[in-house]
Amino acid sequence: MRWLSLLLSITLPFGSLAAKQSSSADRFSDFHAKAQASSPLKLADSSYKKLTSVPRDYSVAVLLTALDARFGCQLCTDFQPEWEVLAKSWAKGDKDGESRLIFGTLDFSNGRDTFISLGLQSAPVLLFFQPTTGPHAVPTVEAIRYDFTGPQTAEKVHEWLARHLPDRPHPGVIGVVFKAWPYILPVIQNRNVWAGLSLIGILMFTSGHMFNQIRKVPYVAGDGRGGINYFAAGFQSQFGLETQIVAFIYGVLSFATISLAVKAPRTRDPKIQQLMVIVWGVILVLMYSFLLSVFRVKNGGYPIKLPPFM
């Protein structure tokens, strides 16, 4: 019996330590799984206490705020979108939990007891709790408080957190993208934008851009009389500026054709419609005439001509 008592006295401290470490790991796994669904976590007094309890082998960033209109906290309202952008982007970039950081928000309406226990008289307050166990443990259990001075952005808080998370991943904050996404998405989904980009790509490659990249052709060349040649004779050589001119001609011709086929028929005013047909028709004739003149420079025996570039 004495041996059994001695054995228990030796093993119980290790068992207690293992249980605490397991509890901390389980808490992180639980909160991290919830954060992947919705970050920052919306906390109450009980969940705040559980999340920040020790021992803790992970870090916690908690924003204590007062968003209810009756409190009149303008800074709380202004900072909340930045905080959510930071928490969401961090969670997306750290799906495996390598940074060991959990974001949470405790509003005064759900955490009155916590505000009282911390002696808080104002909001917002951002607290950063560091690990108390594990490879990144610190000797103090006290939270680090963020200084709300000057304009507050997600990027600024991200830099502050990164300084307190050495040797761990710091997923980049993409606040600008999150904020501008409602404006970017319609542009990405606009078929006219994709049609324009496709047309630009087609014009670049049909005018000889890839040939220039492979052969490293000169941009222009001298004509031997102090002037400049913009077009190289023959179809086996070309200049860089030559391809740009040809691409411009093709682009104008394409735009004129599209305008005549799409824009002009939709114009309800007969006079404006007639003017559009005349203007774009003249541009087509001029551009085709110029294009044929370019072909004759490349090949002197080209027989087809069109006024005014004869």
- Please report which helix (H) or strand (E) contains residue 264, including its range: helix 264-266
Q: Which two tokens stand for residue 52?
A: 């920040």
Chain segment 223-262, per-residue pLDDT in tens = 778 888 888 877 778 888 888 888 999 989 988 998 999 8
How many degrees, rounded to 5, is the angle at CA 242 between CA 240 and CA 245? 115
> Do 94 and 33 contact (CB within 8 A), yes or no?
no
Chain segment 71-113, per-residue pLDDT in tens = 999 999 999 999 998 999 899 889 999 999 999 999 999 999 9
Amino acid at 187: V
Instruction: Return the CATH number of 18-173, one of 3.40.50.2300, 3.40.30.10, 1.10.150.120, 3.40.630.10.
Output: 3.40.30.10
Long-range contacts of 179-182 (CB under 8 A, 24+ apart): 179/81, 179/85
Per domain, the residue ranges of the chain are 18-173, 190-298
pLDDT given for residue 126 in this prediction: 97
Chain segment 14-31, per-residue pLDDT in tens = 334 343 445 888 999 999
Residue appearing with tokens 């002009």: 264
pLDDT given for residue 238 in this prediction: 86
Q: Collect all residues with Cβ–Cβ distance below 8 Å to 208 and sequence separation of at least 6.
A: 238, 242, 243, 246
C-alpha dist (Å) from residue 250 to 85, 162, 167, 210, 272: 45, 52, 55, 16, 25
Question: What is the phi/psi pair of residue 118, to 5°?
Answer: -85, -5
**Is 0.85 topped by the overall pTM?**
no
